Amino acid sequence: MLASRPFTNARPLRASRAAARPVVVRAQATATSLRQLLDDASAAGLGKTRFIVIGDAILESVNDWGAVRYNETPSRGLLATIASEDKSFECHIPLSKVKEIKFAKSKAKAGDYDVYATRFFGEDGKVMLSCVLHGSAGQYDPKAVAAWNSLAQKYGESV
C-alpha cells in the first residue's frame, strides 16, 4: 500500500513548524557577528541543547553547548566547531553560509510549555541548523533559560 502512494513532504517537520512561529529576535549575520554570538553562547551556560540539521535526512543530537573553536578551511572558509570535551560530538558551522540567525520562543506543539530555539538560516532562506534548549516536557535548567533570554536580548536588533 505504501509503495502505491507517492511520498510527499506536504506535512512540515517539527523544526520547520517552530521556525514559522513568532520570532523574538532577528539578526543579520556577518562572520564577525556570528563569531561573537557563538563565543557569547558558549560562555552563557546554555547547557543541554538539541542540535538539529534537516536536509535529505534529519539529524538530532543532544549535547552541552560547549566551547567553540574556529578553523579557516580552503573550501568552506571560516568553520566554527562546537564540540564535546571527548569529541564524541562535533557540530561544524561554515560561517560564510549563515545569512541570518533567529531566536524564537514558541509554544510546544504537544504540551503547555515554551520552546527556546536558535536557528541558523542559509543563503536560500532555509534553516541549516536549529539549536533548541533540551528539557523533558519543558523542564529546562533555569540557568539555561536565563542564558538564552540574555542572548536574545543582547542580539535584539542586529548582530
pTM of the predicted model as reported, rounded to 2 decimal places? 0.78
Per-residue pLDDT of 73-106, as tens digits, reads 999 899 999 998 888 999 999 999 999 899 999 9
Q: Which three cell numbers stand for residue 53?
A: 540539521
Per-residue pLDDT of 60-82, as tens digits, reads 999 999 899 999 999 989 999 99
Q: How far apart are CA 116 and CA 105, in angstroms?
A: 5
Per-residue pLDDT of 110-148, as tens digits, reads 888 999 999 999 989 899 999 999 998 889 999 999 999
| 94, β-bridge pairs | 79
* Residue among 16, 20, 34 nearest 155 (CA): 34
Q: CB under 8 Å to 131, separation ≥6 — which residues?
A: 46, 49, 50, 51, 52, 65, 117, 118, 119, 120
